[in-house]
Amino acid sequence: MTPTPGFLHEGRAYGLLAAAGLRVPRHGFLEAGPLPFLPGEPIVLKGIADQLWHKSDKGAVHFADFDLAALQVEAAAMRQRVAEHPWVGGLVCERVAFQRLPGLPTEALVSLKRDPEAGWLVVFGIGGLQADAWAALAPPLLWPLSAVTPEAALGELRAHWLGRTWLGLQRGTAALTDEARLLAFLQGLWRAVEGLEREGVSLLELNPVVLDSTGLPTALDGVGTLDVSLAPGGAAPDPAWYQALLNPRSLVVAGVSSREGTVGRIILENARKALLPEGSLRLIKPGVTEFLGLPCLGAIADLATAPTDQLILSLPARQTLEAVEQLCLQGGGATVVYLVAGGLGDGADTEGLGQRLMACLHEHRRAGKWTPALVGPNGLGLFSPDLALNTFFIPEAKLPLTAKPGHLALVSQSGAFLITRLSRQSGLGLRAAVAIGNQMDLRCSDFLLGFAADPAVKVVGAYLEGFAPGDLKATAEAARTLRTSGRRVLLYKGGRSQEGMAAASSHTGALAGDHALQASLLRRAGVMLAERMETFDAALAWLGAYPAGRPRKVAILTNAGFEAVAAADLLQGPFGGARLTAAETTALAATIEAEGLAGLVSPRLPLDLTPMANEAAYLAAARVLLGSEADVVVMGLVPLTVRLGTTEPEAIRAFAADLARLAQAAGKWLGLAVEGGALFDLYRRELQAAGLPVFLSMEAALEGLRLIASEQ
């Protein structure tokens, strides 16, 4: 009766559930001896066979009254019907009387899944034969055990369609159970995971779970999988990599050509502008002692006696691999190595170079030997404003980096995503901006933990297309570490699949797709997960200026009626429009009159100053609004009016400085929406240079605020 490894049959599943204190039907195998049933008692006979997931589809479920001889005959017939599956036995189960409601589904599907990225998950949705159809109408709940307690899960179940039905919260229904029984069931599921872990179970699906006559949740079926191999995590790199990457005292570049415009040459030209100690920038250049005025080493081997904090390898894939192998062989030379080349462990790697590289690192780390920490491969570079260190292979003419040191850290799997953000938001105050490439060694979670240990970092913005093996859970835990210490994490996740959002099958453990799983785990860890790049950019602009605080009440000040109307439509959900007291309304009316706008402007929010307003009117009105209950003032500046000066840099800077001082004095957020074409790029740049968040539209400004206001 032992099944082929890999399949968890119903009888074994019942044993694991019962050990966790969960209600299962009385049951026993025909082949195992005396059964706990009386003659004539209603039972269900089930044919249990290896890899037989859908017993009813194969004629392996039979309802009858208990009669041992008749059941033995039926079990033999079942065995013939499922002959392609190795037979386990005939399982006789109590026929549980359970509660139903006319026209409403009352059965649940519960999946306990050990995910290699997120750890153990519980998926809870509507079950029964029509589970797939119902999943589209009432999406299942997803609970990562590392982030959710049974008590929190109960709160979410209470609001779910099925939970509302069970608890009698749907209109015209009576309660089938109570919260105490549901909480006990959830606590049992959490306990069951310990047994599943010990037994090597990777998936257990219960469909259906019903409510018996007393309201006790009861699993009427359970199948799963065993011994699914999970990707092992490698040993951790030396934590000294973080400072060696962002604040190196010495830097070596390999792969610099005599030809201008090549990747290595551009990296060198950018790096030469860094505030590094005299003589700390060197090259690896065989056959010469000096090149382009810089000292040279002849080979990687020379780093054994003349080590560096950071080594940039701008070499082809095979030479990159050989360089890292040499470092490991000699036991030193560079604390962190930045790998520029692709072709290592990606689609262009036809020789297994990436596997060879990782095998080298793992072998040395398991043996307790020294290894460098690797960033990349396929890395575009980094920018560390504290040292003015720029190692991007983008020439200065294309990407003039003017960002000042600040509290924002950016980490991106895509180098292109990173540099376009730096190009578009040049006024961001940065601690660091790093393109991490394919995360072969240092992963997103490593960078988040590095930022968590850096007191200069207040906000982390990240772009990912995929998680390294096992790094989803680690990233969520690192994000939680940041949030616990008062920092914020903003993430855009690319590579999402829409088809993964709904149910895939009632017996696949895939009720929730990859993106839904990732989103659930990350949001529960406190990550602000942007669904659109524009939202990411807008939230980044706000948090780049204001790392602390949360928008709850927003005041709108504009010179365009359409912005006032659009803003009124958008002020809902996690935040709302600010309201003025009678005294504030009176003060605003006096301000309007003093600025010569009486009869044109109504003293109410959203405030439309009309195109007749000049800078003085904006400043006077902003002063009133910043003194109100508003946490945030969003100022719409449609610049086409002749009343606003948009061409003289000095005048723009003075206006921007006055606005920044008002916001700082009030301790409030102030952002600017400048809706106009390229003619007004100078205007936007000068406003942004004052440290104010600037947006292309009122909608973008409010969309960024909405994401921040929704932060858990």
Q: Which residues touch 122 (CB under 8 Å, ≥6 apart)?
A: 110, 111, 112, 113, 142, 143, 145, 148, 153, 189, 190
Does pLDDT of 644 surpass 90? Answer: yes
Nearest to 273 by CA among 401, 380, 362: 401
- Which two three-digit tokens encode residue 88? 């386990």
Listed in order, the ranges of the chain carrying CATH 3.40.50.261 are 548-709
Q: What is the mean pLDDT of residues 513-523?
A: 81
The H or E element that residue 44 is part of is strand 42-49
The amino acid at 603: P
CA-CA-CA-CA dihedral for 342, 346, 347, 351, to nearest 10: 90
Nearest to 106 by CA among 166, 22, 178, 173: 166
Span 440-472, pLDDT tens digits? 999 999 999 999 999 999 999 999 988 887 789
Q: Domain 26-94 falls in which CATH fold?
A: Dna Ligase; domain 1 (3.30.1490)
Listed in order, the ranges of the chain carrying CATH 3.30.470.20 are 108-226
Domain 548-709 belongs to what architecture?
Answer: 3-Layer(aba) Sandwich (3.40)
Span 65-121, pLDDT tens digits? 999 999 999 999 999 999 999 999 999 999 999 999 988 889 999 999 998 778 899
Give me the residue label for tokens 């539209």.
697
Query: What pLDDT is recorded for position 511?
Result: 37
More confident residue, 255 or 236: 255
Query: What pLDDT is recorded for position 227?
Result: 65
- Which two three-digit tokens encode residue 348? 């262009």
- The residues facing 142 across adjacent strands are 123
Do 50 and 258 meet the contact criterion of CB atoms below 8 Å apart? no
Q: What is the mean pLDDT of residues 543-570?
A: 94
Span 161-207, pLDDT tens digits? 999 999 999 888 899 999 999 999 999 999 999 899 888 899 999 99
Query: What does the alpha-carbon distance between residue 96 and residue 98 come to, in Å, rounded to a whole number?
Result: 6
Q: Is 543 helix (H, G, I), strand (E, B) or coil?
A: helix
* Angstrom distances, CA of residue 669 to CA of 459, 543, 692: 16, 10, 9
Does pLDDT of 506 surpass 90? Answer: no
Radius of gyration of the CA atoms of the chain, in A? 32
Does pLDDT of 231 surpass 60? Answer: no
Q: What is the mean pLDDT of residues 601-622?
A: 96
- Domain spanning 108-226: which superfamily? ATP-grasp fold, B domain (3.30.470.20)
Listed in order, the ranges of the chain carrying CATH 3.30.1490 are 26-94
Question: Structure pTM?
Answer: 0.82
